[in-house]
Amino acid sequence: MPATVTLEEELRDLVTHEEELRWEPKRSHGIKSELRLIPVGQLTVDPDYQRLFTAETKYREIVGNFNKVSLHVLAVAEREDGTLVLMDGQRRTQAAIEKHSARFQVPCWVTSGMTYAEEAAVFVDLNHNRLNVAKTQLFLSSLLAGRPLETEIDRIAQANDVKLGLGSWRAIGCVKDVFSMGVLDETFRVIHTAWGTAQKDVPPGMVFKGVGRFIQRYQSHPRFNLDRLALVLMGCRPDELAAKGRGRSAQMGARGGHIADGVASVITELFNGPQGRRIPKWS
């Protein structure tokens, strides 16, 4: 007779071949992990670090291609009250419910004893290279996890009355780029003065980045000052500046032009004005 294989042994074998199981906690004290088969209906999602999905087209594609054999092991956190929080695989579990039922059992790597911040860190670690996870969502999750980069960016934003996140200031990639230039605070201050920071006043990401590029290049020039830059931007709406930046970047295309560089080039002309050359031409 063939040897009897226990459920745990089957799950262990599955885990051995799972590339996605990378959520080992940073600490071991007070942390316990185990493999379980759990009905999908018992799994919940914490919207504090994982947005409830709204991409219907993508979801319908997942449902249409659903295969229970390739479901993969799911990352789950068990909280003190027994709540089972799904840290990754939201669409797959919803597809399992639709294709089968809430009683359909899925293999889960369940970790107990984690804090909210550690749960959020797991979500970020599992999703940072996935194209279908919004940069804004990863930023908010990283912020909840206490990651230093996102924490510092948020500190600068809040100091300028800016709320980064879903629904407002969503161009997180551009915000991070400007932060890496070392002029995030100055860029926020200029835009706050010129256009405000309310949701209706949020500039397109490439405009924000273009303002940052301009400040980065000319901030040490003797004829540059933030007050004049803010005054210049007051006379040009963000959407108008974006359109001009796209046209300019197309002209610069042969030289590797980018929309943000196109915006910066337009700002340079506006800053210099018709009276003469205050700062060098953007090139």
Higher pLDDT among residues 157 and 73, named by residue: 157
pLDDT of residue 18: 46
Residue 133: how many CB atoms within 10 A of its CB?
A: 19
Tokens 């993969």 label which residue?
Answer: 72
pLDDT of residue 128: 63
- Side-chain-side CA neighbours of 268 within 13 Å: the count stands at 22
Average pLDDT over residues 65-78: 69
pLDDT of residue 234: 93
Q: Which pairs count as long-range contacts for 139-146, CB under 8 Å and 24+ apart, including other chains?
A: 139/164, 139/165, 139/172, 139/176, 140/49, 140/165, 140/166, 141/49, 141/50, 144/48, 144/49, 144/116, 144/117, 144/120, 145/49, 145/117, 145/118, 145/120, 145/121, 146/117, 146/121
Q: Which amino acid is at 212?
A: G
Average pLDDT over residues 112-124: 82
Q: What is the pTM of this model?
A: 0.63
Average pLDDT over residues 188-193: 93
Token pair of 129 as six digits: 């290279």
Residues 6+ apart with CB under 8 A from 182: 216
Distance, CA of 158 to CA of 209 (rounded, Å): 18
pLDDT of residue 13: 52
- Reported as a pLDDT band with limits 50, 70 and 90, residue 277 is confident
Average pLDDT over residues 134-150: 80
Range with top average pLDDT, 41-45, 71-75, 268-272:
268-272
Kindly tell me if the per-residue pLDDT of 16 is higher than 50: no
- Reported as a pLDDT band with limits 50, 70 and 90, residue 121 is confident
